[in-house]
Every structure is written in C-alpha cells, then in structure tokens.
C-alpha cells in the first residue's frame, strides 16, 4: 500500500478545499486513513479591545466546528476512515509537527491560505515542503 | 473639502481598514489608526468637529467596554500578585516619563502628566490576544497577567480623571452622579433588561449611552474626564454582561461598526508625519522612558509571582494601545498638549503595542503543555505537603 496515513491541512480557504478533495480521492484509492488537521489561524494581532479578540475567537470556533463536521461527512460519504483535529498556532510548524507525530507518509495542502501575510512572508506550502519528513503534495 | 466629502472619504477608509484587518490578521484598530495617519497627512485634512465629538464619545465607550470585559472573580483570586505587578507597571513609567518630559524635554507640568499617563498603560486587549491564541489564558500565569493588566489600567484611568480636576462646584454633581450610576445601574439593569431588553430598538444600549453622555458632560464641567466612572461602571456591570452575552455582543456591534473606527481614525489623522520625522530622537527617548522603567520595575516582581516566565510577563506588561491613545487624545482635545507632542505619544504607544509583543512571542513564549504539567506538579506537591 503506497500510503497508510495521509495528513491534509485545512483552513476553509479555496486552496484547502482543493487539497481536501484530492486527499480524499487518494485515501479512497489507497485505503489510507485521512488525518485532517484544521489550523486555527492567528487572532487579530495588537487588538485594541478584548471584545474584538473574543468575537473573532467565537467566529473562528464556530467556523471550524462546521468545517470539521463537513470533513467527517465527506469522509463518511467516500468511505474513507478519517480523524479530524483542530489546533491553534503557526500553520507550517503545526502541520510538520503533526505529520511527524502521527507518522504520516504524505502531507496534502493547498497552495494558498487565508492570510495575505502568508503570501508576503513565503507561503505555508513552501515552508511545509522545506521542513516535512515525508512527501508533500501541493494542490492548485 | 466639504464635510460630507470628508465623511464619505472616512467611511470608505473605515471600510477598507476592516477588509484589510480580516486579510492581514491585524487588529482593525491599529489599521484604522494607520489609515487615519495616511489619509490625514496625504490629504492634509483637519479633524472636523463631528469627528471630534464622535471620537470623544467612542473613547469613553471603549473605556466602559474595557471595564465590562474584566473577569471580576479572577481578579479577586489573583488580587495580591496582580496588585503588586499591576501597580508597579503603572507607577514606574508614570513617574519616569513624567520627570523625563518635565526636566528632560521641557514640557509643562500638565503636559508631563499626560505623557506619564499615556505611557504608563498596559494593553489588556493585546495581552489577552496573545494569551488566548496560545491557550495560556487557561493557566494560572495567564490569569495573573490579565488581572495585573487591569490594575495598571485602573491606575491610568484614575490619574486621567483625578489629576486635571480644577476645584469647582461641578465636582459635587460629577462625583455624586458617578457614584449613583455605579451603585444604581447594576441593580437597575436586571429589571430594565426584563422589561425592555431584547428589542431591535435597543433601550438597554440607550441606557448605557445616556449614562456615558451624562458622565462626559459633568466630567467636562468639572474639568475632569469621564474615563474613571465609565471604567468602573463597566466593571460593576461586567457580571450582568457575563450572563447576557447577546446584549454585550450588540453593544460591541454598535461600537465597532460606527463609533470606535472614528476614534482611531481621529487619532491617526491627528498624528503629524512631519512632526515625527523632525523629532525621531525625542521619540526614541520617550519609548525608552516607557520601556525601561516597565522592564526594571516589573521584572523583579514577575520573577517572584510569575516564575519561570518573568521575561514573558514583563514584556506583555510593557504593551499599550487603547488607553494610551485615549489619554493622548484627551490631552490634545483639551489643549494641554500640542499636535507634535500628541504625535510622539501616540507613536510610542503604537510601538509599544508591537515591539514587546513580538519579542515576547518570538523569544519568551512559554510552552503551554509544559506550563500545564508544571501547574499540575505544583498542585500535587502542595497537596502532599498539606497531607
């Protein structure tokens, strides 16, 4: 079996939707377990009010709850065994660490996430490709 | 440029700031401040009267919201340690910056007081975002830092309200009405909410706004500022909002959609690029005036009460944003400080929101899992000792 554990990074962006579809397809073909990691992006930096932070956090929590539920449904429909997890933090670092921790043999992720600053500082996909221990598939 | 043209330009700027905030993951307030700076200097706009008025009210509303966001039970639990850290965090830069401005920069006594107050603050919101993002808000050290931040903020609003009072008969109604509202509104709120709450015409928000306007008027007559009673009013209503989250959410919607953007835009528009450029040395001195006493004053206490994360705690206590801007705008609006001094103070406030936060996150951020394990081990040891 070419793959037994495939990590897919999701953040609800268009790029991650493409990555999820491709990861599901691959997992279905190879009989691999899909490990969906949702990376909760940063809260507003240098906030002026606690309210702004709390509201964004609440929106994010609700958004990711819906996102993870949808991944479970899609995996069920495709007959793919799947585990979903939500972690807060730095996207590239988390994805690489999670793949290592779960001994994944493939990471699938979109080429572009939500935040402009990811694009300005070099994309998450680039950094994961550079630091991951396993093959990385970047989906357009 | 006519008033409506300015309003249209600023409304467009506010809209752009919101979208940029979502895309960049940076607080909308900081972007509004920066956008105001760009628009104000690029178009050479002066702040129209209506913007001044809306901005002043928004500043008091921001203070009320800050009070309402305090977790009072947590503050009670962490009172001793947070009081020590928070009071030094306020007093050290207040005294040092005040003396520096008076003796070193030749500012008047009142200007030096404004400088001391504006640069003594710690930003609860900046600290809160860092702690929530990392999950540290659930740990004892995170709770202690937030409680200490509240103490610093209390020092700031108290000084801003007290230091500029000119003795007159208006102090009596100002203090009397403040006490009546602080004592009465928490009792009135549940009844008022039961009878008039949850309606689209929002009588409960209007009750808050009417109270704040009354405090602003009386504060103005007493040559004081409504921030202290507004902050305490928010504080005493915090438990009401904790059990009526929707009401708090609606208040935030009104504040963030219309009022606070104009507060930060006004702040940004009042910053002079030329004045900053011509006084970069003074900017550096004031920045050091804020940071050095914060670091030297807070660090020993943080070692005692927030070990082993003293450096992280100290850096977070050195941040500032909203109350620093409110204090500086008060000084500008009342003519105590001029535009150059205002520009310097707000620039230092913004730098202090960014630089210590970045250093704390990059170099000193505690490992949350390790911190929780450490707390569990400490609790177990304590239980063994007691047994």
Across chain B, mean pLDDT equals: 91
Question: Mapping DSSP to helix (H, G, I), strand (E, B) and coil, where does residue B92 land?
Answer: helix
Residue B182: both structure tokens together: 């602080």
In this structure, are strands A136-139 and A82-88 parallel, antiparallel, or unpaired?
A: unpaired
Indicate the DSSP class of residue A90. Answer: -
Q: Do B30 and A46 touch (CB under 8 A)?
A: yes
Q: Do B354 and A46 touch (CB under 8 A)?
A: yes
Structural domain boundaries of chain A?
5-139
Residue A27: both structure tokens together: 């997992």
Residue A64: both structure tokens together: 């990711």
All residues of chain B having their beta carbon less than 8 Å from the beta carbon of residue A89 are: 133-134
% of chain B exceeding 90 in pLDDT: 67
pLDDT in tens, B252-264: 999 999 999 999 9
pLDDT in tens, B161-192: 899 888 889 999 999 999 999 999 999 988 98
- Measured between CA atoms, how close is B133 to chain A, in angstroms? 6
How far is B257 from B54, CA to CA, in rounded Å? 13
- Written in H, E and C, the secondary structure of A41-89 is CCCCECCCCHHHHHHHHHHHHHHHHHHHHHHHHHHHHHCCCEEEEEEEC
Q: Do A47 and B66 touch (CB under 8 A)?
A: no
- Amino acid B322: pLDDT: 92
- Amino acid B189: pLDDT: 87
Q: Do B30 and A117 touch (CB under 8 A)?
A: no
Of B167 and A119, the one with more pLDDT:
B167
Asked if B239 is an interface residue toward chain A (Cβ–Cβ < 8 A), one would say no
What is the average per-residue pLDDT within B85-90?
95
Q: How far is CA B170 from CA A79, B137, B185, B211, in A?
A: 75, 42, 22, 17
What is the average per-residue pLDDT within B113-137?
89
pLDDT at B371 over 70: no
- Amino acid A121: pLDDT: 44
pLDDT at B385 over 80: no
How far is B280 from B268, CA to CA, in rounded Å? 18
- Second CATH level (architecture) for the domain A5-139: 3-Layer(aba) Sandwich (3.40)
Q: Do A50 and B128 touch (CB under 8 A)?
A: yes
pLDDT in tens, B11-39: 999 999 999 998 888 889 999 999 999 99
Ranking B62-71, B226-235, B372-381 by mean pLDDT, the lowest is B372-381
CA quadruple B182, B184, B187, B188: dihedral sign? negative
Indicate the DSSP class of residue B26. Answer: B
Residue B237's pLDDT band, with cuts at 50, 70 and 90, is very high
How far is B16 from B248, CA to CA, in rounded Å? 25
Instruction: Please count the structural domains in chain B.
Output: 1
Residue B334: both structure tokens together: 């009342």
pLDDT at A76 over 90: yes
- Amino acid B387: pLDDT: 66
pLDDT in tens, B195-228: 887 888 889 999 999 999 999 999 999 988 899 9
pLDDT at A10 over 50: yes
- Amino acid B368: pLDDT: 65
CB neighbours of residue B308 within 10 Å: 12
Residue B14: both structure tokens together: 């506010």
Q: Do A44 and B21 touch (CB under 8 A)?
A: yes
CATH number at residue B379: 1.20.1530.20
Q: How far is CA B218 from CA B143, B162, B173, B273, in A?
A: 35, 14, 7, 35
- Amino acid A120: pLDDT: 46
Domain that holds residue B216: 3-386
pTM across the whole model: 0.85
Q: Which of B264, B365, B371, B314 is nearest to A42 (CA)?
A: B365
Asked if B30 is an interface residue toward chain A (Cβ–Cβ < 8 A), one would say yes
Q: Which of A12, A39, A48, A63 has the most B C-beta neighbours within 10 Å, making it the best mutation to test the interface with B?
A: A48
Q: Which of A111, A101, A89, A86 is nearest to A132 (CA)?
A: A101
Residue A118's pLDDT band, with cuts at 50, 70 and 90, is low
pLDDT at A115 over 60: no
What is the average per-residue pLDDT within B285-308?
93
pLDDT in tens, A38-59: 987 778 888 888 888 888 888 8
Asked if B125 is an interface residue toward chain A (Cβ–Cβ < 8 A), one would say yes
pLDDT in tens, B340-365: 999 999 999 999 999 999 999 888 88
Residues 6+ apart with CB under 8 A from B334: B164
Ranking A49-53, B90-94, B278-282 by mean pLDDT, the lowest is A49-53
pLDDT in tens, B325-339: 999 999 999 999 999
% of chain A exceeding 90 in pLDDT: 46
Across chain A, mean pLDDT equals: 86
Say how far residue A127 (Cα) sits from the centre of its chain. 14
């Amino acid at each position: 079996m070419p793959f037994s554990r495939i990590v897919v990074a999701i953040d609800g962006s268009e790029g991650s939707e493409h990555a999820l579809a491709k990861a599901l397809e691959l997992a279905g073909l190879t009989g691999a377990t899909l490990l969906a990691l949702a990376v909760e992006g940063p809260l507003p930096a240098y906030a002026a009010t606690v309210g702004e932070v709390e509201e964004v956090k609440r929106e994010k929590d609700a958004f990711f709850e819906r996102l993870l539920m949808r991944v479970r449904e899609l995996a069920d429909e495709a007959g793919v065994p799947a585990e979903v997890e939500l972690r807060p933090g730095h996207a590239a670092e988390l994805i690489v660490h999670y793949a290592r921790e779960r001994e994944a043999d493939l990471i699938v992720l979109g080429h572009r996430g939500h935040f402009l600053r990811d694009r300005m500082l070099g994309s998450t996909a680039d950094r994961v490709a550079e630091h991951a221990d396993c093959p990385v598939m970047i989906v357009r | 440029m006519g008033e409506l043209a300015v309003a249209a330009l600023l409304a467009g700027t506010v809209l752009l700031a919101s979208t940029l905030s979502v895309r960049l993951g940076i607080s909308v307030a900081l972007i509004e401040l920066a956008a105001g700076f760009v628009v104000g200097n690029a178009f050479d706009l002066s702040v129209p009267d209506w913007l001044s008025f809306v901005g002043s009210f928004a500043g008091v509303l921001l203070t009320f919201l800050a009070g309402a966001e305090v977790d009072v039970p947590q503050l009670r639990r962490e009172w001793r340690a947070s009081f020590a850290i928070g009071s030094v965090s306020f007093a050290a830069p207040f005294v040092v910056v005040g003396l520096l401005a008076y003796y070193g920069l030749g500012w008047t006594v009142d200007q030096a007081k404004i400088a001391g107050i504006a640069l003594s603050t710690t930003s609860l919101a900046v600290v809160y975002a860092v702690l929530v993002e990392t999950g540290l808000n659930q740990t004892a050290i995170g709770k202690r830092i937030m409680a200490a931040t509240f103490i610093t903020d209390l020092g700031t609003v108290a000084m801003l309200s007290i230091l500029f009072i000119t003795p007159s008969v208006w102090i009596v109604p100002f203090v009397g009405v403040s006490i009546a509202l602080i004592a009465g509104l928490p009792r009135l709120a549940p009844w008022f909410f039961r009878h008039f709450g949850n309606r689209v015409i929002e009588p409960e928000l209007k009750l808050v706004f009417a109270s704040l306007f009354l405090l602003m008027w009386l504060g103005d007559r007493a040559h004081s500022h409504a921030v202290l009673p507004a902050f305490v009013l928010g504080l005493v209503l915090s438990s009401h909002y904790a059990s009526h989250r929707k009401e708090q959410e609606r208040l935030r919607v009104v504040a963030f959609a219309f009022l606070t953007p104009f507060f930060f835009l006004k702040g940004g528009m009042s910053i002079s690029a030329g004045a900053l450029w011509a006084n970069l040395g003074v900017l550096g001195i004031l920045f050091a005036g804020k940071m050095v006493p914060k670091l030297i004053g807070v660090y020993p206490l943080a070692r005692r009460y927030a070990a082993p994360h003293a450096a992280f705690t100290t850096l977070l206590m050195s941040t500032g944003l909203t109350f620093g801007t409110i204090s500086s705008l008060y000084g500008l609006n009342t003519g105590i400080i001029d535009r150059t001094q205002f520009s310097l103070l707000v620039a230092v406030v913004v730098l202090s929101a960014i630089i210590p936060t970045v250093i704390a996150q990059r170099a000193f951020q505690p490992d949350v899992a390790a911190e929780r394990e450490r707390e569990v081990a400490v609790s177990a040891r304590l239980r063994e000792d007691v047994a």
